[in-house]
């Protein structure tokens, strides 16, 4: 093990064996230990010619000690990297690196000796009643009596079309201990875990006439992200095979499934211009929350998409541009569940529209389309148009002033048969309401002109309201235990704050681009690192099967507040 002591934390790296054979997987483990690891990201793995990284996994543990009346807390983050060498020789794995609170850390290099191994035996063929006979290629470890296999429901799919991936453990020997070292990982895919059994249940099956016991390790529902082929990286397990009568020890083996590639098909040539990325079967509707507004007063316009398919990944439909109103990027809320091997639910896009002229303003019809992968056809949808009455601000102010003058006149009418003073006592009380109205009206007009003339002032003015609304929603999702909804709102609140504070179009930028923009505005590296940690954690929860613990959720919410306080 190689250990490097740091000022804020301890950064360590180790390897499970220093001598391996060609084609035999080995694991490099990296540990980050400290009292406070909030905002710590994943270390950057090095690149080594001749050694490939098959996949990685992350785990976390916390230890609390109570000594002499004092409580101490230590957190350990562990990152396991499954690697394999393609040729023999002596290799040096360069240091892993980490940036935390503006400081850069690295481990010491690790040496490994790769020797030439024996040829791997072939596995027999599998025969099942529901599938034609097919050949299973050998696992990386080369053992034919116990191995892992990856099965997919489809060999090729359209962009956005779901498929199911099953990982099975096959054995025809007695196993005394089983541990999953590395979960399968996916490239260019969004993952929804369907099943990860806590207890393995074996059933009998036959492969080429040879009996095996089979148990499900993991079942995932995955969706392609874009038009690149999906890469399924291997899962790895540590198993112990019971020894025979003459053996005192069980045999330890590391087994891995083989990597697989899912081909992405191209859409038919009749792809309509209004199609974006919806694949499945959906309904399409819209709601307008009012029929009458004032000029420059924003109102909500909702587009609702219901059905089954890649509903969690849908891009917002486009509202046709117009000189008569401005359209702001929408907020999105999704409510979905897994049913029948796909996602079903509802996604609501809420747009803010601001009318620029008075009179009868029309929102044009909206065209949208989705692709039905079962029939391999595009389905077009059209809704609208809508009409809304827009009043000018001047007309509204005139009505208010006229009404107020009428009320004031009624107060100063002479009363018959009573003494009237030339200058009545407490005269200022008669004019106090009018004076207050005048002050409020003047402030309203000044504030409106300020907002209209100074966009930066308008954005900053809107921050407290947006933050209050966002944190209320975060607390609600946290109480309900909706992890994905919580982290989706967490990143939305952060990005909306950055957009209003710095006038950056963060919703269309990558994390690295956001970090670059903030550094150009003299934001400290510590704040940038914490901010990127929030976005990375949000993506990991929303797009993988990772489930954070309750104390992690509270820490992430606290980190969000600290980042906003530092930037506000």
What are the b/e assignments for 243-276, b being 16+ CB within 10 Å?
Answer: eeeeeeeeeebbbbbbbbebebeebeeeeeebbe
Task: Evaluate whether 518 touches 531 at the Cβ level (below 8 Å).
Answer: yes
Residue partners of 434: CB distance under 8 A and separation at least 6: 404, 408
- Stretch (H or E) spanning 113: strand 110-115
205: part of which helix (H) or strand (E)?
A: strand 202-207
What pTM was computed for the model?
A: 0.48
Give the whole-angstrom CA distance, residue 492 versus residue 486: 10
pLDDT of residue 455: 47
CA distance 465 to 252: 59
State how far the Cα of 562 lies from the Cα of 527, in Å rounded to an integer: 9
- Ordered alpha helix ranges (H), 412-505: 427-453, 455-480, 483-502
What is the number of other CB atoms lying within 10 angstroms of the CB of residue 328? 11
**Under 8 Å between Cβ of 220 and 111:** no
Q: Which of 408, 411, 366 lies closest to 384 in space, CA to CA?
A: 366
Q: If DSSP codes are grouped into helix, strand and coil, which group holds residue 344?
A: strand
Per-residue pLDDT, 210: 66
For 151, phi then psi, to 5°, come to -120, 135
What is residue 448's predicted lDDT score, i.e. its pLDDT?
61
Reading the chain (568 residues) residue by residue, the pLDDT tens digits are 433 333 457 888 888 788 888 888 888 888 888 877 777 888 888 888 888 887 777 777 766 554 445 556 677 888 888 888 888 889 999 999 988 888 888 888 888 888 886 534 444 444 333 333 333 433 333 347 899 999 999 999 999 999 999 999 999 888 888 888 888 889 888 888 888 888 888 887 767 556 788 999 999 999 998 888 999 999 999 988 886 555 556 788 899 999 999 999 999 999 999 999 999 999 999 998 888 888 888 888 999 999 999 998 888 999 988 888 888 888 888 898 888 778 899 999 999 888 989 899 899 999 999 999 999 999 999 998 999 999 986 654 544 444 444 444 344 444 455 555 555 555 556 666 766 767 777 666 666 655 555 444 445 566 787 888 888 888 888 888 888 888 888 888 888 888 888 877 777 677 888 888 888 888 888 888 888 888 888 877 876 667 788 888 888 888 888 888 888 7
- The CA-atom distances, in angstroms, between 441 and each of 262, 293, 343, 434 are 65, 19, 52, 10
Q: What are phi and psi of 22, to 5 degrees?
A: -60, 130
Can you say whether the dihedral through the CA atoms of 508, 329, 277, 366 is positive or negative?
negative
pLDDT at 309: 92
> Following DSSP, what letter does each residue of 124-138 receive, concatenated?
PEEEETTEEEEEPPP
Residue-level pLDDT at 126: 41
Q: What are the Cα distances from residue 146, in Å, to 84, 177, 178? A: 20, 13, 11
What is the predicted pLDDT for the residue at 395? 53
Cα-based distances in Å from 555 to 403, 515, 567: 53, 21, 18
Question: Quick one: pLDDT at residue 15?
Answer: 84
Q: What is the structure's pLDDT at 405?
A: 40
At 559, list the tokens. Answer: 């980190």
Structure tokens at 13: 């790296």
pLDDT of residue 150: 93
Q: How many angstroms separate the CA atoms of 217 and 148, rounded?
A: 9
Q: How far, in Å, are 326, 497, 568 from residue 563 at the CA level?
A: 31, 10, 9
* Whole-angstrom distance, CA of residue 169 vs CA of residue 256: 10
pLDDT at site 218: 92
């Amino acid at each position: 093990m190689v250990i490097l002591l740091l000022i804020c934390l301890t950064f360590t790296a180790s390897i499970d064996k220093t001598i391996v054979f060609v084609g035999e997987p080995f694991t490099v483990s990296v540990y980050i230990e400290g009292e406070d690891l909030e905002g710590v990201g994943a270390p950057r793995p090095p690149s080594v010619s001749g050694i490939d990284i098959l996949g990685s996994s992350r785990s976390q543990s916390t230890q609390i000690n109570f000594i002499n009346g004092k409580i101490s807390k230590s957190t350990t983050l562990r990152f396991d990297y499954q690697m394999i060498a393609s040729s023999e020789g002596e290799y040096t794995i360069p240091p892993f690196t980490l940036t935390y609170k503006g400081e850069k850390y690295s481990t010491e290099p690790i040496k490994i000796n790769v020797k030439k191994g024996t040829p791997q035996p072939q596995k027999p063929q599998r025969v099942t009643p529901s599938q034609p006979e097919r050949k299973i290629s050998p696992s990386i470890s080369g053992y034919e009596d116990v191995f892992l296999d990856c099965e997919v429901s489809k060999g090729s799919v359209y962009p956005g079309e779901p498929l199911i991936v099953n990982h099975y453990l096959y054995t025809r020997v007695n196993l005394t201990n089983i541990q999953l070292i590395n979960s399968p990982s996916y490239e260019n895919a969004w993952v929804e875990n369907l099943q990860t059994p806590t207890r393995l249940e074996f059933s009998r099956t036959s492969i080429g006439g040879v009996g095996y016991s089979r148990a499900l390790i993991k079942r995932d529902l995955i969706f392609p992200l874009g038009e690149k082929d999906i890469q399924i990286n291997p899962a790895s397990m540590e198993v112990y095979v019971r020894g025979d009568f003459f053996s005192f020890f069980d045999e330890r083996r590391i087994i891995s499934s083989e990597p697989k590639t899912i081909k992405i098909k191209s859409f038919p040539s009749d792809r309509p211009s209004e199609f974006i990325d919806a694949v499945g079967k959906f309904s399409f509707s819209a709601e307008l929350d009012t029929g009458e507004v004032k000029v420059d007063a924003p109102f909500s316009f909702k587009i609702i998409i219901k059905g089954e398919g890649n509903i969690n990944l849908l891009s917002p439909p486009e509202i046709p541009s117009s000189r008569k109103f401005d359209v702001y990027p929408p907020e999105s809320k999704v409510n979905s569940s897994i049913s029948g091997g796909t996602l079903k639910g509802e996604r609501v896009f809420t747009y803010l529209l601001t009318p620029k002229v008075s009179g009868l303003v029309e929102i044009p019809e909206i065209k949208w389309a989705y692709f039905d992968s079962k029939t391999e056809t595009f389905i077009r949808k059209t809704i609208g148009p809508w009409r809304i009455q827009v009043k000018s601000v001047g007309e509204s102010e005139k009505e208010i002033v006229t009404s107020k003058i009428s009320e004031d006149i009624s107060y100063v009418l002479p009363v018959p048969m009573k003494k009237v003073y030339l200058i009545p006592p407490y005269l200022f009380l008669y004019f106090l309401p009018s004076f207050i109205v005048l002050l409020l009206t003047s402030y309203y007009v000044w504030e409106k002109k300020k907002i209209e003339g100074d966009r930066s002032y308008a954005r900053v003015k809107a921050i407290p309201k947006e933050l209050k609304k966002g944190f209320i929603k975060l607390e609600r999702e946290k109480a309900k235990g909706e992890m994905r909804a919580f982290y989706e709102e967490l990143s939305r609140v952060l990005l909306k704050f950055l957009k209003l504070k710095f006038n950056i179009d963060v919703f269309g930028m990558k994390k690295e681009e956001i970090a670059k923009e903030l550094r150009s505005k003299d934001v400290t590296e510590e704040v940038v690192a914490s901010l990127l940690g929030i976005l990375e954690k949000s993506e990991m929860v929303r797009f993988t099967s990772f489930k954070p613990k309750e104390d992690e959720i509270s820490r992430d919410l606290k980190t969000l507040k600290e980042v906003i306080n530092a930037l506000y």
